[in-house]
């Protein structure tokens, strides 16, 4: 398990839009949270089959598969931003529209196990990235979505984003984790 611990980012280290995600993070043990969230998400998906994973809690809302696909898209984008900024790349990074990405991903047509496997691979890659960053990488800031953002803020945002959606999956979709089960890809 990753032992990465980062101080909570200050308010000026990200756009106000992200402060809610950062507030979802309970402490500074980012490495531990990254690994635990992966297990939590796999336990939430384990009881579902492909039909159940196409469920929506209300008309016009994403299906469980679409939420999982969104988590993968966002993990990939935020990890890329973190890598670029931590490497000192000052190129402003564009935003993205998750509401356009989800339909284009056609996640409901994919097997649930494939989506779980993809998120697993992405999160393991994120863990490797954060564990491999040199100390100087964590001191850097860059531009993303038209706003200043720090490398630590991106790590917190990734954890907080998954925490937010995991809570939505539990509360609105009424998903319950399988006890000690892990979905396999």
Residue spans of the domains in the chain: they are: 11-171
Beta strand extents in the chain (DSSP E only): 141-144, 147-150
- What pLDDT is recorded for position 168? 97
In the 8-state DSSP scheme, what is residue 10?
P
> Using the 8-state DSSP alphabet, how is residue 5 labeled?
-
Which CATH superfamily, name and number, covers 11-171?
dinb family like domain (1.20.120.450)
Strand-pairing partners, residue 61, are none
Q: Which of 161, 172, 162, 177 is nearest to 44 (CA)?
A: 177
Q: Measured at the alpha carbon of residue 23, what is the angle toward residues 20 and 24, in degrees to the nearest 5?
A: 95
Q: Measure the CA–CA gap between 39 and 50, rounded to whole angstroms.
A: 19
Q: Which residues of 116-136 are buried (b: 16+ CB within 10 A; e: fewer)?
A: bbbbbebbeebbebbeebeee
What is the per-residue pLDDT for 180?
65
The predicted-structure confidence for 123-132, as pLDDT tens digits, reads as follows 999 999 999 9
Which of 108, 114, 128 is closest to 35 using CA atoms? Answer: 128
* 64 within 8 A of 55, measured Cβ to Cβ: yes
Q: Is the pTM for the entire model greater than 0.85?
A: yes
Structure tokens, 90: 């000052």
Q: Of 85, 68, 51, which is closest to residue 154 (Cα–Cα)?
A: 85
Are 40 and 71 a contacting pair, CB within 8 Å? no
Average pLDDT for 13-20: 97
**Could you report the per-residue pLDDT of 88-102, keeping only the tens digit for each?**
999 999 999 999 999
Q: State the chain's mean pLDDT as an integer.
A: 95
Q: Is pLDDT at 30 greater than 60 in this prediction?
A: yes
């Amino acid at each position: 398990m990753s032992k990465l611990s980062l101080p909570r980012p200050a308010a000026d280290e990200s756009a106000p839009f992200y402060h809610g995600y950062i507030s979802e993070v309970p402490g500074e043990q980012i490495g531990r949270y990254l690994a635990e969230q992966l297990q939590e998400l796999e336990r939430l998906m384990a009881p579902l089959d492909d039909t159940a994973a196409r469920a929506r809690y209300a008309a016009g809302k994403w299906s469980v598969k679409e939420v999982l696909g969104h988590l993968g898209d966002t993990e990939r984008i935020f990890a890329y931003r973190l890598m670029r900024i931590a490497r000192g790349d000052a190129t402003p990074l564009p935003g993205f529209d998750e509401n356009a990405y989800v339909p284009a991903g056609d996640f409901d047509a994919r097997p649930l196990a494939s989506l779980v496997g993809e998120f697993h691979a992405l999160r393991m890659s994120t863990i490797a990235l954060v564990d491999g960053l040199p100390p100087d990488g964590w001191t850097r800031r860059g531009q993303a979505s038209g706003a200043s953002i720090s490398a630590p803020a991106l790590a917190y945002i990734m954890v907080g984003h998954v925490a937010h959606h995991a809570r939505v999956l539990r509360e609105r979709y009424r998903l319950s984790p399988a006890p000690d089960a892990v979905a396999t890809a």
